[in-house]
Chains A and B, each alone.
Chain A
């Protein structure tokens, strides 16, 4: 099974560390990826605010490209969308194409105008789901060479990865990433805000509202003694990391938390060099876990 990798616009700019670490981890785990040919923007949440049918058409073009690429083993083609917004929009479009005859009719007509068809074969997956449920958490645990002892992780899922069109975990209190980081040797912190929205683009538009949302997330993670936040979405990572100092200045806080992608964290445990995982692209690299000697003892034990 080859996953059709859909980077989305963010992974080519602010989320570059996510792309680099994701590809490195997939190489290490020998999960075959093939970038979806000439993919286009999913439309995010902004496109549907202007024109809904066009927004569905935009996203459906990607589903249609994948639709024409049947797998050698006869299974449905699967798109791998690492950005939460891309994942949700593509899954939502697939859902409406399946369940709403009116949407299907309008979008199919539009796709035909550009010489494409969508038969409804494509499945949309998130890497978190693929790593844990397809590859398997036990197999990942066996490949860990640097157990990440000493990390207390606040797993931040963000909003759109678990709702409303996703089925792999609970929409409010998911555990997939928590289980994954535990298998990597770290400790996951019980953090009730793990799916509370970071505000998305509000940090760029209505900053007061956006900053306060992120401040609440960061404060609660600090209070629960997390020493790192892991995310699975480029926008969440950007908001929580890049505005920390400004949030501190504005509200008189002393928050100081590294914010990394869960794929970078996985890569460290799997023994991939930090450079390949784009750790240097973070503003504040995660503190190194237990010293190397201890790790070796643990690995043999």
Chain B
């Protein structure tokens, strides 16, 4: 099987086109890989099923977003298993996954692919493996903070936070739609929250002491 070219190597190859044919290494040496990475991810994503992937490509074929991914889901699984940790955690694929579960319900080996993607997302966020202003992780984090504090999400406020933390100019583009939604009574700036916020925070904080994920 041909392994995908890591983007870092691809970029450096493009920067200096060799005047004459030189030898370019396209694949990592085994010593550069994190060989236990696959097993650690498999554990995180419920069971060792990940390791039994037969590389049939059903996941990539059913995924509605594989066109936009730098590595298709099948490749992500292969690379995870082989230990291409940096490439996997740096990939756009894990952020593009919209959790529609179509791969998971059709996988002939019953691999929890969506849970694998979640495990990779968590690891990438925890280790800062994503561009600082990338909207998807920023949205996830803003959502997390809001729900942690209030117990509920307020869609309008969440989006405003997202735009402020990524690209405030987008807010101008979306203002027109926002106005229309408001006119139809479908947009409210009122902050939603629950009465049991304190107890909820106690529960969520109890998790921190109970189970904190070790870095992969």
Could you list which residues of chain A lie within 8 angstroms of chain B, going by C-beta atoms? 9-10, 12-17, 38-41, 43-54, 57-58, 61, 88, 100, 106, 109-116, 159-160, 163-164, 171-172, 195-197, 199-202, 204-206, 208-209, 213, 242, 280-283
In the bound complex, residues from chain B placing their C-beta under 8 Å from that of A160 are 99-101
Residue contacts A-B, CB under 8 angstroms, 28 given: A9-B152, A9-B155, A12-B192, A15-B186, A38-B194, A40-B152, A43-B147, A44-B143, A46-B140, A51-B213, A52-B118, A52-B119, A53-B207, A54-B204, A57-B203, A58-B204, A61-B203, A106-B211, A113-B203, A113-B206, A116-B199, A160-B100, A196-B64, A200-B98, A200-B99, A204-B162, A209-B96, A280-B184
Nearest Cβ on chain B to A12's Cβ, whole angstroms: 7
Give the interface centre of B192, B195, B211 by most chain A CB atoms within 10 Å. Answer: B211
Scoring B residues 96 to 126 as 1 if CB is less than 8 Å from chain A, else 0, what string do you get? 1011111011100000001000110110010
Chain A positions within 8 Å of B151 at CB level: 40-41
Which of A51, A113, A282 interacts with B144 by CB under 8 Å? A51
Q: Which residues of B contact A88 (CB under 8 A)?
A: 101
B200 interfacial by beta-carbon distance below 8 Å: yes
Contact A110 B181 (CB under 8 A): no
A52 vs B204: C-alpha distance when bound (angstroms): 11
B40-51 interface bits toward A, Cβ cutoff 8 Å, 1 = contact, 0 = none: 000000100000
Tell me the smallest distance from the CB of B129 to a CB of chain A, in Å: 13
A46 close to B195 (CB less than 8 A): no
In the complex, B13 has a CB within 8 A of chain A: no
| Interface residue tally on B, bucketed by range | 35 or more
Say which residue of A50, A53, A195 sits within 8 Å of B141 (CB atoms).
A50
Chain B contacts to A: CB under 8 angstroms: 46, 64-65, 68, 95-96, 98-102, 104-106, 114, 118-119, 121-122, 125, 135-137, 139-141, 143-144, 147, 151-156, 159, 162, 174, 177, 180-181, 184-188, 192, 194-196, 199-200, 202-207, 210-211, 213
Q: How many Å from the CB of A81 to the closest CB on chain B?
A: 15
- In the bound complex, how far is the Cα of B95 from the Cα of A171, in angstroms? 23
Interface majority SS (helix, strand, loop, mixed), chain B: helix
B154 partner, pick from A13, A44, A57, A110, beta carbons under 8 A? A13
State the CA gap A37–B184 with chains docked (Å).
Answer: 28
Task: Tell me whether A205 and B139 are in contact in the complex, defined as CB-CB below 8 angstroms, given that A113-B205, A159-B100, A160-B99 are known contacts.
Answer: yes
Asked if A205 meets B135 with Cβ closer than 8 Å, knowing A49-B118, A51-B144, the reply is: yes
Chain A: minimal CB distance from B196 (Å)? 5
Nearest CB in chain A: distance from B19 CB, A: 37
Contact of A49 with B121 in the complex, beta carbons under 8 Å: yes
Determine the chain A residues whose CB is within 8 A of the CB of B195 once the complex forms: 38
**A110 adjacent to B143 (CB under 8 Å):** no
- 14 additional A-B pairs beyond A12-B188, A202-B65, beta carbons within 8 Å, are A14-B186, A16-B186, A47-B147, A50-B141, A113-B203, A164-B114, A172-B105, A195-B102, A200-B98, A202-B98, A204-B159, A208-B68, A280-B184, A281-B184
- Residue of B68, B121, B156 near A209 (CB, 8 A) is B68
A47 to B121, CA, bound (A): 11
Q: Report the Cα distance A62→B98, complex, angstroms.
A: 24
**Smallest CB-CB separation from A47: which chain B residue?**
B144
